[in-house]
Amino acid sequence: MSAYPVTMCGRYALNATAGELIEHFRLIACPEWNARYNIAPQSSIPIIRLKPGAGRVGQMVRWGLIPSWAKDPGIGNKLNNARSETVADKPAFRSSFRRHRCLIPANGFYEWQAVPVEGKVRKQPWFIHPVDPGDLFAFAGLLSAWNAPAGDTVVSTCILTTGPNALMAAIHDRMPVILRPDHFDSWLDPDNQDIDGLRGMLRPCDPAQMAAHPVSPAINRGTVEGQACITPLEVAT
């Protein structure tokens, strides 16, 4: 793989426990989850969906959306993200956008800033997180169920992205769509077919709710894990 992710959003962190996810998102159930600080595409990750007649539930799915019509599941390697500007129209995403939406919880995400150094461009990783240490982001996500020839069903997801807010603009030209809590119910409701209303949620979030700091380039390696991944660069060891 490349030295740093070439797509946005390419890495994120979720170190909240299942109990914390249940409390924060008012879930009726959630699978166990071990803290991760360097989650990459193709990982198994927890998402939140609405179970009709019951409520919000957590579920483990694959990050990298495989459309239900796909002949080769390898297409999911390229569909980690979906641009919010075109998601309602692109064949890979439009069905999921209409009926199969989810939340992807995160303690923060990473982005790589292009920095000129001695005539060359270096990619400096940043960790972007809620300004309130006790808060969590809820990325807007889509779901798809793909039936493998062997009979197994693979449920997969992708993260919707949008243009940058004022904080992100200095770091990167894209960011994940981070939904407000008052949008959760409408976003998750599979009976909500208000396409214009759904599109209206896919905007950059309030920059006042976010903070960012540079982190060690060690995060570039997908095998690196642990709290050191999110430690501010000036105190990293």
Q: What is the pLDDT of residues 33-49, one digit of tens each?
A: 999 999 999 999 999 99
Q: Are 229 and 37 spatial neighbours (Cβ–Cβ below 8 Å)?
A: yes
Segment 67-88 shows an average pLDDT of: 95
- Residue from 102, 124, 129, 107 nearest 190 by CA: 102
Confidence at residue 44, expressed as pLDDT on a 0 to 100 scale: 97
Which listed residue (30, 102, 111, 229) is catalytic?
Answer: 111
Q: Is the pLDDT of residue 109 over 80?
A: yes
Over the chain, what is the mean pLDDT? Answer: 93
- Residue from 103, 105, 97, 110 nearest 7 by CA: 110
| Dihedral pair phi/psi, residue 105, rounded to 5° | -75, 145
Question: Which residue's structure tokens are 């807007």?
Answer: 140
Angle, CA of 179, 185 and 187, to the nearest 5°: 55
Joined tokens for residue 16: 């909240």
Joined tokens for residue 40: 């990459």
The residues, ordered by sequence, that sit 6+ positions from 131 with a Cβ below 8 Å of its Cβ are 208, 209, 210, 211
| Dihedral pair phi/psi, residue 17, rounded to 5° | -80, 170
Which listed residue (9, 30, 102, 158) is catalytic?
Answer: 9
Q: How far is 83 from 202, CA to CA, in rounded Å?
A: 10
Segment 147-152 shows an average pLDDT of: 88
Q: How many CB atoms lie within 10 A of CB 167?
A: 19
Look up 9 and say whether it is catalytic: yes
Joined tokens for residue 31: 């699978």
Q: How far is 81 from 63, CA to CA, in rounded Å?
A: 9
Confidence at residue 218, expressed as pLDDT on a 0 to 100 scale: 93
Q: How far is 176 from 202, CA to CA, in rounded Å?
A: 9
Q: Are 45 and 14 spatial neighbours (Cβ–Cβ below 8 Å)?
A: yes
Question: Which residue's structure tokens are 């889509």?
Answer: 142
Confidence at residue 2, expressed as pLDDT on a 0 to 100 scale: 39
Look up 111 and say whether it is catalytic: yes
Banded pLDDT at 235 (limits 50, 70, 90): very low
Banded pLDDT at 75 (limits 50, 70, 90): very high
Q: Are 97 and 83 spatial neighbours (Cβ–Cβ below 8 Å)?
A: no
